[in-house]
Every structure is written in C-alpha cells, then in structure tokens.
C-alpha cells in the first residue's frame, strides 16, 4: 500500500509542476510531459491495488478508451477544439457520475449519512455537467442552433427544478436506503444540465465552458472524497480552481456576472430595447474595394489586426498570416490584438493564429495593445464585432455598456472585413462601422485576405 501512496505523491508533484510550467510557452511542453509521466506512474501504481481481483474490465476499458481517443485527438482540426474540450468535460463528468452510481448501488443498504451526501453531490454534479457539456459541444459544433432558446417562465422552471434537486439530495442524505429518490435525483440532474445550457447563446460559451471545467473539477474532488483517494482530491481542486479563475476572467472581459450569463439569455431579452437606439437617419457605412484597401495598406507603416470568431468561422487564419507576412516583408510593423472573449473559448484566437504559424511574440493582450492604437496607421478587423464596438464606452443603455473593448476606432484608419452589415452576437449595432475613418471591405474574410495578399506591392514585382 505504501508503494501506491508514493506513486500518488509523485503524481501530485508532477501535476503541480506541469501546471506551473504553463506560465510560459517556453517551458509548457516539457512541463506537460512531466505531468503525463506523473499520470502514467499513478495508473501503474493503481494496478497493484490489493482490492483488484480481475483485470479483464480494466484492460478492456484502457484499450477501448485509447483506441477511441486517438482519432478524437490526433486528427481533429484546431477550429473544432472548443467542442472537443466540451466533450471531454462531459466524459470526465460521466465517469465520476457512473462510479458514484456504482458505489451507491453496491452499498445502498448499508451506507452512512455522510457517505450518502457525498455520493449524492457527486452524482448530481456529474450528471448535470455531463448533459450540460454535451449541449455546449452541440451548440459549438452547430448541431444545435447557436442562438439562445428561451420561453416564458424558463428561469422559474430552472430554479424550481434546482430546488427540487437540493430537496431530494437532503432527503436521501437523511434516508440513504431510499433507492427510488436517488435515481429520481440522477434523472433530474441529467435534465437540469440540458435546461441550464439551452437558453445560453454560442457567444457566451467561453464562460459556460469554463464553468463546466470548474464543475468537472469539483466532481472529481468529490469522487476523491468518496473513494478516499487524495490524488483525486488534489487534482479536482486544481482543476476546479482553473475553471473558476477562467470563468471569472471571461465574465470580467464581458462586464457581466456569472448569474447574468447563466440566466440572462443575452441578445434575446434585450432585443426590444435594442432597436430603439438604432441610428436614426445616419449615413451609410463607407464600403471599400480590395484595390482601394490596397492603396491604404501600401502607405501604412503599422498595422494592428483584431481577429474575432468570424476568422475562425471562415477559416481565414492562414490567409491572414500570408497577408501579414507580406506586410512584414515590406517593413510594416504587424501586431495582433487579442480580446479575452474573442472566439468561443478562452485563448481560442491564440491557438488558431499559432496554428497558422504566427509567432506568439506577435500576439498581444487587450491591456498591452490598447495604448498603441492611436499611433497605428491601420487597424484591420477580421470577423470581430462586439469586442470592437465603441458604444460599450459611451452608450449607457447598450447591453454591452462597460465591457472592455479593443480601441480599434482610435487608429488612423479602420478596415473591417465583414460579410454583411448584420450586428454582432449581442444584437447591438456597431458604431464603429459608421465612423468617418472606418471602411468596410465586404465579402468572405478568407477571399478578401487572399486578394489583399496577392495584390499587395504587386507593382513592385
């Protein structure tokens, strides 16, 4: 037994070192290799547990799981990473939930109140994280519509369902031998996960995905409490802290509270108030052709690129890099401005640009880059909308008021690659498009960027 405990202590140390190494891209890879070594040590140690009487289910599960994981990880395109992460939250939560059910099934006739409460919490959290994360993945993948699905009285239904679950949890803790109530709680938790996420729109997924990361961690920690397994408690706490911090950061970047994201159904409820602040009799936005846009770029000395979800949707990141390389080759300074909630999950834009071979030294966070916009010749907006809307600074009635934004409007010229004039996810019109120094380059971002890259400095050979 002491041997197994030593492997767990080693694993805990290696996990902590692994997470610490993620502080810098230079050390991150080596650190994660250490963490995977820790995982391997812990698994090998576990195989020597004296309770294990047969290996057939273990080996079958390990082989089957490995075979399934390979295609899901090696060949999945980087643009699909958000839904892949959501799926793995679902898988982890399901595992914890099923182990909880198995333990209850086995010991329900003879279980203490405390153990019952722990198992109840584990099963409830695991089940709602499982179905919730599945819905998140489906929304991100486009299997379900990305816009919020709402109906009247939704919040009342959800809150009553949640209260009922808490009541049941309390009841089975007092009377652990009640099988029926336990399985009702399990089913309600599965249902609640679905109800919780359907009213949330795809653009709010950075917060939701982080929240489920935290729930998944908590479920793991509770499973550790149940099985008296300390490595699971430590890992669950680390995982939970990570999800918690990320969801707080995402909420801050949208100037909203977690409750507002979960129960606000952004872009739906506010729609009515929205239409009233529509520009009355204001001029049309100026549109620009690829040729004219090229003229602007030929004169520019510095360009800052602000990417958004539109870049991921039209897979324009490779074309963008090609154009940026041409600019750089001609001595233009090129930087990328990354808003924390651009895209569908924390850090989404960074991963896509890294995939297109953009060096990470060219990527800048919002706070770093905002002071540079006023002395930049061109701000190039690629598929970003709400995160560049200046009305977040000024229009108090706007639902995005107070949200920190990229100051692209302060650049000398703004060129916006966009398919149409449709508003961003929040449903708010973007004032930026109507400014005197803003130019709209309509069309598919990838096509426009290819044409720009092809045409730039062509006259010079």
Q: Which of residues 53-82 bind other proteins (CB under 8 A)?
A: 53-55, 57-58, 60-62, 64-66, 68-70, 72-74, 76, 78, 81
Which residue number, 105 or 175, has a Cβ lying nearer to other proteins?
Answer: 105
Sign of the CA dihedral running 179, 180, 183, 189: negative
**114 binds other proteins, rule: CB under 8 A:** yes
- From 9, 10, 107, 268, residue interacting with other proteins (rule: CB under 8 A): 107
228 binds other proteins (CB under 8 A): yes
- Asked if 376 contacts 332 with a C-beta cutoff of 8 angstroms, the reply is no
Minimum Å gap between C-beta 375 and other proteins is 9
Q: Which of 128, 138, 197, 223 binds other proteins (CB under 8 A)?
A: 223
Provide the minimum distance between the beta carbon of 403 and other proteins in the complex, in angstroms, as a whole number: 16
The residue among 289 and 301 lying less far from other proteins, judged by its C-beta, is 301
For other proteins, which residue of 79, 96, 138, 326 counts as binding (CB under 8 A)? 96
Backbone torsions φ then ψ of 337, nearest 5 degrees: -105, 115
- Of the two residues 19 and 258, which places its CB atom closer to other proteins in the complex? 19
Contact window for other proteins (CB under 8 A) among 52-60, 155-163, 259-267, 452-460: 52-60
Within positions 165 to 194, which residues make up the interface with other proteins, using CB under 8 A?
Answer: none
| Distances from the Cα of 149 to the Cα of 158, 196, 382, 436, angstroms | 14, 11, 28, 37
- By beta-carbon proximity to other proteins, the closer residue of 27 and 155 is 27
Contacts (CB under 8 A) with other proteins, residues 327-346: 328, 333, 338, 340, 345-346
Residue 238 binds other proteins (CB under 8 A): yes
Size, binding site for other proteins by CB under 8 A: 120
Which of 298, 355, 377, 447 touches other proteins by CB under 8 A? 355
Closest CA to 246 of 279, 296, 211, 215: 211
Question: How far apart are alpha carbons 265 and 232 in whole angstroms?
Answer: 35
Spatial CB neighbours of 283, under 8 Å, sequence gap ≥ 6: 434
Binding residues for other proteins restricted to 190-219, rule: CB under 8 A? 209-210, 213, 216-217
Nearer to other proteins, 101 or 432 (CB): 101
Q: Is residue 246 involved in binding other proteins (CB under 8 A)?
A: yes
Q: How far is CA 325 from the centre of its chain?
A: 29
Q: Which is nearer to other proteins, 247 or 450 (CB)?
A: 247
DSSP string of 286-297, one letter each residue:
PB--HHHHHHHH
Closest separation between CB of residue 206 and other proteins, Å? 9
Interface mask toward other proteins for 21-50; x: CB under 8 A: -xxxx--xx--xx-xx--x--xx--xx-x-
264 in helix, strand or coil?
helix
Q: Which of 142, 292, 295 is nearest to 205 (CA)?
A: 142
User: CB-based contacts of 55: which residues, under 8 Å, 6+ apart?
Assistant: 47
CA–CA gap between residue 153 and residue 461 (Å, rounded) = 65
Interface pick for other proteins out of 34, 237, 290, 322 (rule CB under 8 A): 237
Task: Classify residue 89 by burial, with Cβ atoms within 10 Å: 0-12, 13-18, 19+.
Answer: buried
Q: Which of 140, 208, 233, 294 binds other proteins (CB under 8 A)?
A: 233
CB of 392 to other proteins, least distance (A): 19
How far the first Cα of the chain sits from its last, in Å, is 73
CA-closest candidate to residue 176, choices 245, 113, 239? 113
43's CB contacts (< 8 A; 6+ apart) are none
Minimum distance from residue 184 beta carbon to other proteins (Å): 18
308: contact with other proteins by CB under 8 A: no
Count other Cβ atoms within 10 Å, centred on residue 86.
Answer: 28
Binding segment (CB under 8 A) for other proteins, from list 13-21, 135-143, 156-164, 303-311: 13-21
User: C-beta of 115: minimal distance to other proteins in Å?
Assistant: 5
Cα–Cα distance for residue pair 330/460, rounded to 1 Å = 11
Among 132, 146, 201, 220, binds other proteins (CB under 8 A): 220
Interaction of residue 383 with other proteins, rule CB under 8 A: no
- Pick from 79, 83, 92, 385 the residue near other proteins by CB under 8 A: 92
For helices 113-141 and 205-227, angle between their N-to-C axes, nearest 10 degrees:
150
* Residues taking part in catalysis: 386
Cα 427 from Cα 268, distance rounded (Å): 8
Q: Report CA torsion sign: 35, 36, 39, 41.
A: negative
Using the minimum distance from each CB to other proteins, give the nearer residue, 265 or 349. 349
Q: In angstroms, what is the minimal distance from the CB of 86 to other proteins?
A: 10
Site for other proteins in 363-382 (CB under 8 A): 363, 365, 372
The verdict on 161 binding other proteins (CB under 8 A) reads: no
Q: How many whole angstroms separate alpha carbon 112 and alpha carbon 435? A: 67
């Amino acid at each position: 037994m002491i041997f197994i405990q030593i492997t767990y202590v080693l694993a805990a140390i290696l996990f902590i070192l692994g997470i610490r190494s993620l502080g810098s891209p230079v050390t991150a890879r080596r650190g994660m290799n250490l963490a995977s070594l820790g995982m391997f040590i812990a698994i090998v140690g576990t195989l020597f547990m004296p309770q294990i009487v047969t290996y057939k289910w273990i080996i079958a599960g390990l082989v089957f799981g490995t075979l399934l994981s390979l295609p899901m990880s090696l060949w999945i395109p980087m643009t699909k990473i958000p839904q892949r992460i959501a799926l793995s939250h679902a898988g982890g939560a399901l595992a914890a939930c099923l182990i909880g059910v198995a333990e209850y099934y086995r010991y329900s006739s003879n279980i203490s109140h405390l153990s019952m409460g722990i198992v109840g919490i584990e099963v409830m959290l695991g089940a709602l994280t499982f179905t919730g994360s599945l819905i998140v993945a489906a929304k991100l993948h486009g299997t379900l519509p990305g816009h919020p699905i709402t109906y009247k009285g939704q919040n009342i239904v959800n809150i009553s369902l949640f209260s009922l679950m808490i009541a049941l949890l309390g009841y089975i803790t007092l009377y652990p031998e009640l099988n029926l109530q336990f399985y009702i709680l399990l089913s309600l938790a599965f249902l609640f996960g679905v109800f919780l996420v359907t009213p949330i729109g795809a653009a709010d997924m950075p917060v939701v995905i982080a929240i489920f990361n935290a729930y998944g961690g908590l479920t793991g920690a509770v499973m550790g409490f149940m099985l008296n397994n300390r490595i699971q408690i430590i890992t669950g706490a680390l995982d939970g802290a990570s999800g918690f911090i990320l969801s707080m950061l995402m909420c801050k970047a949208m100037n909203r509270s977690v409750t507002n994201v979960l129960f606000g159904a952004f872009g739906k409820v506010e729609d009515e108030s929205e239409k009233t602040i529509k520009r009355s009799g204001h001029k049309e936005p100026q549109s620009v052709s690829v040729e004219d846009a090229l003229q602007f770029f030929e004169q520019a000395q510095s360009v800052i690129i602000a990417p958004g979800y539109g870049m991921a949707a039209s897979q324009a990141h490779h074309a963008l890099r090609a154009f940026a390389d041409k600019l750089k080759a001609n001595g233009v300074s090129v930087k990328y401005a990354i808003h924390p909630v651009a895209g569908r999950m924390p850090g989404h834009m960074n991963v896509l640009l890294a995939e297109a071979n953009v060096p990470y030294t060219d990527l800048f966070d919002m706070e770093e880059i905002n002071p540079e916009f006023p002395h930049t010749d061109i701000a190039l907006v690629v598929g970003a909308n709400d995160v560049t809307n200046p009305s977040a600074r000024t229009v108090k009635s706007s639902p995005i008021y107070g949200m920190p934004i990229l100051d692209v409007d302060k650049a000398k010229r703004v060129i916006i690659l966009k398919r149409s004039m449709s508003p961003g996810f929040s449903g708010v019109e973007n004032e930026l498009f109507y400014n005197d120094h803003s130019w709209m380059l309509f069309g598919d971002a990838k096509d426009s960027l290819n044409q720009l890259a092809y045409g730039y400095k062509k006259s010079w050979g």
